[in-house]
Amino acid sequence: MKKLILLFIALFSFAAFAQQNPVKFNTSVTKISNTEYDLIINFELEDEWHLYSQHSDPNGSQAAKLTFKDAGKKYELVGEAKEGDTHKAFNDIFEVEETFFTEDGQITQRIKLLDPKTKQIDLDFFYQVCKESCISHTENLSFSLTGEKTVKTTVELSADDKKKSKALLLDIVNKDDYLKDTKKDTTTVATDKKKSLFQLFLLGFLGGLIALLTPCVFPMIPLTVSFFTKQGGDKKKGLFNAFLYGFFIVLIYLLLSLPFHLMDSLDPEILNNIATNVYLNVFFFVIFIVFALSFFGYYELQLPQSWGNKMDNASNAGGMLGIFFMALTLAIVSFSCTGPVLGSLLAGSLTATGGATQLTIGMLGFGIALALPFVLFAIFPNWLQSLPRSGGWMTTVKVVLGFLEVAFALKFLSNADLVSHWGLLPRVLFIVLWIVIFLAMALYLFGFIKFPHDPAKPQISKSRFGLGLINLAFVAYLGLGLAGIIRMPLLAGLLPPMQVENLTIFHDYDTAKAFALKNNKPMLLDFTGYACQNCRRMEEKVWVDAKVNNHLANDYVVVSLYVDDKAVLPKEAQFQFLKENGYVKQIKTVGDKWSTFQSLNFNSVSQPYYVLLAPEGDLMLNKPQAVTDAVTYEKWLADGLKFFKE
């Protein structure tokens, strides 16, 4: 229960801080001697808010924490930070005594200089304040030891950093004066975006339907519906409560996507950085294997039983609040079956363009699919008679999902492998492993492989046998692709990338520009990513088209810039880049450089993203393009080439 409360605090703290910050800070310095100073933090709290002390019980709300920059180098801390007046109270939720400030507070830290030239001390003050909601935030504080006005050193760039930052900015002529059919292009882009979101909604909806067929959810449908339809003998009230129950199910899953919107608003590139993070992709690989073993029946994976018990007890409160906790109980107790499906949805959304919006749309589809049967069967209770009985078929569903989890786990390991250039999982090995996985699934469906919860002699129904045949057909499809007989366009974006024939591709803008100038050819800037599924789809479905491939091979200088490349830049090429919002981004990797280059010049952080430039890099030849079909893409290339020649 405590962990669940912390989760909801985390969800809503982002939204709360976006609206207000009830803490006002000011800093001062008291000189003790030529080498010792007291750094004083004073803060005022708005009415009824309280801020937790550094010494508050760690099992309760989040305690304050001071992080001193350059401590141990330019200065050392003398003793612990001293606090002004605080209050203590027992928290019934966490069952601990907490220490906190109300109205105002003061924290003092004494320091001793190690470097007498030090003029300014900077620190990060992490804190949590609560009222009806809670806010967690880190405040950057500075202290001047000379009495001069403090400056935020994080935004003061060196001359070299400014020079390197300026080099990222292209002086591009506004191409809209030269282009035709701009309105048509904009409409096409908007249509493609709506189409993509609709497809993701359908995927989320399909995921919800799959989750319904699992033993964690399916048996709860008749029990819950019967409760609502018979409640108090009032049919209208039962129907209303069933609708409310369905609404709360959808709401709960939508709330899970809220933090990602707030992270996206703070830094549009953050979701791409999360999605392409090596450690996160390896984590997804491990967690999907854990989910798969659970589906295979080797152990039961579930949230703490106490969470479900507490929510179940809360559901007895009655009214709307009770129904909300009933929906929350469903989400918790069904986690062992819905968790892996949601994990797939989360991971898939974060690796796609516009992750926060796509995640919300996917969660909406998932929640509606999960809630729909409870509402429909409440409206038409006679339909309950047509529901199939719970039984062994649900175990089969779980095992099939387990095999799919293993297959998807390899995708995330492949992402980490591609981004880090390890070379552990090349395309051929990936396909071979998928052949093994889906062949094993077919053997299971035919009864040749058994798992712990399978009967000694499983009954092979017609549907199970048919699903086994489909798996064998898919294995044959993979085999033909492995042999090079077919291209496997259905799996474009899921498999590691294949080499596009006949193309010479540059991976550095300046090198490509020099080549383009020498040969008087326009450039195609391809903003892409190793973990970008839509990029692979474009390369394996569109770039291989004969007309498109001819343009790319003969008419353009193709430069693919990987925004998720984790290769570290040479020390002399690394620098700090100051963004318009005051945020300083460290340009340390190849991906840092090209993602900043894209967002700075083209106001876009999506991939794939294609731009046609004149060889001088000063004029766009056509409106930038994203995911599209071969015919549209070829026309876009041809129109850009025509304009260049004119």
Q: Which of 404, 407, 414 is nearest to 281 (CA)?
A: 414
Digit-coded pLDDT (tens) for 391-443: 667 788 888 988 988 998 898 898 888 877 788 999 999 999 999 999 999 99
Q: Would you call 609 helix, strand, or coil by DSSP?
A: strand
Determine whether 73 is exposed, middle or buried from the number of CB atoms within 10 Å of its CB (0-12, 13-18, 19+): exposed
Highest mean pLDDT among 157-161, 211-215, 627-631: 627-631
Predicted local distance difference test score (pLDDT) of residue 312: 56
CB 32 within 8 A of CB 38: yes
Beta bridge partners of 125: 66, 139
pLDDT at 533: 73
Q: Which residue has the higher pLDDT, 419 or 368?
A: 368
Query: Where does CATH 2.60.40.1250 sit in the chain?
Result: 2-156
Q: What does the mean pLDDT of the chain come to? A: 79
pLDDT band at 640 (very low <50, low <70, confident <90, very high): very high
Predicted confidence at residue 302, as pLDDT, reads 61
Tens of pLDDT along 223-282?
Answer: 676 666 665 456 677 778 888 888 988 898 888 777 777 665 545 555 556 566 788 788
Q: Over range 496-511, report the average pLDDT.
A: 85
Spatial neighbors of 633 by CB under 8 A, at least 6 apart, are 538, 542, 545, 548, 625
pLDDT at 267 (0 to 100): 52
- Band of pLDDT at residue 340, cut at 50, 70 and 90: low
Which span out of 65-74, 205-214, 317-326 was modeled with the highest average pLDDT? 65-74
Report the percentage of the chain scoring pLDDT > 90.
26
The alpha carbons of the chain give a radius of gyration, in whole angstroms, of: 29
| Range ranked top by mean pLDDT from 63-67, 164-168, 477-481 | 477-481
pTM of the model: 0.54
Lowest mean pLDDT among 49-58, 256-265, 360-369, 460-469: 256-265
Residue 148 burial (CB < 10 Å; 0-12/13-18/19+)?
exposed
Q: Where is average pLDDT lowest: 215-224, 551-560, 615-624? A: 215-224
* Residue, of 85 and 308, whose pLDDT is higher: 85
- Using CA atoms in the order 55, 60, 66, 72, what is the torsion angle rounded to 10 degrees? 80
More confident residue, 161 or 518: 518
CATH 3.40.30.10 domain locations along the chain? 497-645
What CATH number labels 497-645?
A: 3.40.30.10
In CATH, what class is 2-156?
A: mainly beta
Percent of the chain with pLDDT over 70: 76
In sign, the C-alpha dihedral spanning 196, 199, 205, 211 is negative
The contacts of residue 186 (CB under 8 Å, 6+ apart) are none
- State mean pLDDT over 538-551: 91
Quote the pLDDT of residue 531. Answer: 72
Average pLDDT rounded to a whole number, residues 478-495: 85
Structure token digits, residue 157: 């760039």
Average pLDDT, integer, range 148-168: 69
